[in-house]
């Protein structure tokens, strides 16, 4: 634990959980979409659902989706800015089972037709966890550079990815695999120590059975 975990992040808004954490969930969703968002459907659960207007969680989530940081002075005007940029958005109250009280499910669509659905929770002090991407269970905090390697579940694919990373002198801090069914689409969530350059990302994309690689830089 650091001093920043105790006092919270530099931020705009009344609550590190409901504002700063919400911005970071939105920013992560934007990175996973990897496109300019044109629409967002946001489901709010638990405490988020009860107090999202009063604590500015709605503004914070939209601000993050637009790429703002938690200290951005434009956050109070985020809803108006989104409308000016042609981003359609909606908020709905939902009961998301087995989730942290401060949880949002964000469905995004980009201008190039890309889509993504993520579930994230704000767990205090501006810290977050992302627990689901497009129906796949994941778990990462955004505190470290994170690679999402989407691939077909075939023998040898994990070994090929991790062996290439070892040859590239990249240390894996945390690894998680999720899949909906044997032989179907699967996701490697790999938190790494240090940085990773574009050449490494491009080479990972060339690994057999890998369909997509997304780098989520530490937020």
* Residue range 185-211, pLDDT digits in tens: 999 999 999 889 999 999 999 999 999
Spell out the domain ranges in the chain: 3-134, 145-216
Which residue in 104, 119, 97 sits closest to 32, CA to CA?
Answer: 119
Domains 3-134 and 145-216 share a fold: no
For the entire predicted model, the pTM comes to: 0.83
Do the beta carbons of residue 40 and residue 47 sit within 8 Å?
no
Q: Tell whether domain 3-134 is in CATH 3.30.360.10.
A: no
Q: What pLDDT was estimated at residue 90?
A: 97
Per-residue pLDDT tens over the stretch 79-129: 999 999 999 999 999 988 888 889 999 999 999 999 999 999 998 878 899
- Return the CATH class of domain 145-216: alpha beta
Q: What pLDDT was estimated at residue 101?
A: 83
Per-residue pLDDT tens over the stretch 127-155: 899 999 998 889 999 889 999 999 999 99
Per-residue pLDDT tens over the stretch 8-49: 444 444 455 558 899 999 999 999 998 999 999 999 998 888
């Amino acid at each position: 634990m650091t001093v920043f975990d105790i006092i919270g992040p530099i931020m705009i808004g009344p609550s590190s959980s409901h504002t700063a954490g919400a911005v970071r969930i939105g920013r992560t969703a934007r990175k996973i979409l990897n496109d300019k968002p044109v629409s967002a459907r946001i489901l709010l659960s638990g405490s988020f659902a009860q107090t999202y207007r009063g604590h500015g969680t709605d503004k914070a989530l939209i601000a993050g989706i637009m790429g703002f940081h938690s200290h951005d002075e434009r956050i109070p005007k985020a809803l108006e800015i989104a409308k000016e940029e042609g981003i359609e958005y909606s908020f709905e109250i939902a009961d998301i089972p087995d989730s942290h009280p401060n949880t949002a499910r964000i469905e995004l669509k980009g201008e190039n037709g890309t889509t993504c659905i993520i579930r994230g929770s704000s767990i205090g002090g501006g810290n977050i966890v992302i627990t689901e991407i497009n129906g796949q269970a994941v778990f990462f905090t955004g505190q470290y550079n994170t690679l999402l390697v989407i691939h077909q579940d075939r023998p040898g694919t994990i070994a090929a990815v991790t062996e290439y990373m070892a040859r590239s002198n990249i240390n894996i801090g945390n690894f998680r695999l999720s899949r909906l069914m044997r032989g179907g689409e699967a996701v490697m969530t790999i938190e790494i120590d240090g940085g990773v350059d574009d050449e490494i990302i491009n080479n990972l994309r060339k690994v057999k059975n890998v369909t997509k690689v997304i780098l989520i830089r530490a937020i």
